[in-house]
Amino acid sequence: MKVYLNLAVTPSRRERYALAWALPVFVAALAVLVYLGVATFHGYRRSRQLSSSLESVSARDSRLRSQETELRLELGRPKFQKMLHETDFVNHVIDQRHFSLTELTLKVGKLLPANVKLNGLGLAGQDSQPEVQFAVMGKDEKAIESFLSKLEDSKDFSNVMIKNQGVRKGATNGAQQVALICTAQYLGVAPSAP
């Protein structure tokens, strides 16, 4: 007589539940694994790109530093030191702005009568009241006297002094003209900046 024994255990409810969810969990885990693999690959590629960009920036930075060092050495030479010193001096004078030639020329232009022309304008000294030298030509003595009286009455000039006066023949028509060279202290200088 043969006895058949069934040694199989009936699966429990928990085991049946786990077996039913095994395939969907496996598919989801596989999808997450693929996603992580792709993300890792993109991250690695981006890291390599950033690394090469960083290397190029680093190389450029070192080139710029070496150029800066060369330029500093070049500026350290006496020729460039002199030019730098002169440039600083000019910038300092510009910053102080003691004197405006354009402003002086406008003020002198207002003093000139219609029949007097300015032939030359010179400046001596850079202190608070520089001396200005005028060379003017007029049709006659009356025109020159008119210019001198306007110059003396001006609030921008003081201490008017005649240096030279004479009569010259005109270059264009041969008529005689009165020439005058005089000096005056210019009072219209802006105060220096502290």
Domain boundaries defined on the chain: 13-75, 99-186
Under DSSP, is residue 106 helix (H, G, I), strand (E, B) or coil? helix
The answer to whether the beta carbons of residues 160 and 182 sit under 8 Å apart is yes
When the candidates are 3.50.30.10, 3.90.740.10, 3.30.1360.100, 3.30.1700.10, the CATH number that belongs to 99-186 is 3.30.1360.100
| Mean pLDDT in residue range 158-165 | 89
- pLDDT at residue 26, as a whole number: 92
pTM of the model: 0.46
48: pLDDT strictly greater than 90: yes
The answer to whether the beta carbons of residues 139 and 178 sit under 8 Å apart is yes
